[in-house]
């Protein structure tokens, strides 16, 4: 039996839910690692430096990894002009007309 593929809306919802799940899991694990450090100091009143170091480095690594990176996008390749590439732009215009689309910018 051939099943119907999921709709675009269903895929969007799945992508959003997976993203929320990923960030929730990452923040939860980082929070748990930081709570272990807190529990050592506040509840147990003793410090195991190896556990503290591993938990702090692990939480820091997770939090650093999920931060969005700000980067400048560099357009790949040279800019094309209609005056310099008339054949290419004529072909693109013909394809745009044939498919009922407007010319790309």
Q: What residue spans define the domains of the chain?
A: 9-67
Q: Specify the pLDDT at position 29.
A: 98
| Cα dihedral 4, 9, 15, 18 in deg (nearest 10) | -80
Stretch 41-53: mean pLDDT, rounded? 91
pTM of the shown model:
0.63
Asked whether residue 18 carries a pLDDT value surpassing 90, the answer given is yes
């Amino acid at each position: 039996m051939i099943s119907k593929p999921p709709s675009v809306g269903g895929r969007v919802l799945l992508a959003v839910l997976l993203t929320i799940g990923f960030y929730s899991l990452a923040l939860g694990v980082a929070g748990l690692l930081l709570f272990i450090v807190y529990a050592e100091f506040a509840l147990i009143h003793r410090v195991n430096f190896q556990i503290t170091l591993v938990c702090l480095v692990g939480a820091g690594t997770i939090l650093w990894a999920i931060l969005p990176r700000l980067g400048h996008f560099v357009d790949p390749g040279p800019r094309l002009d209609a005056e310099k590439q008339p054949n290419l732009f004529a072909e693109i215009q013909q394809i745009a007309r044939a498919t009922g689309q407007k010319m790309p910018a």
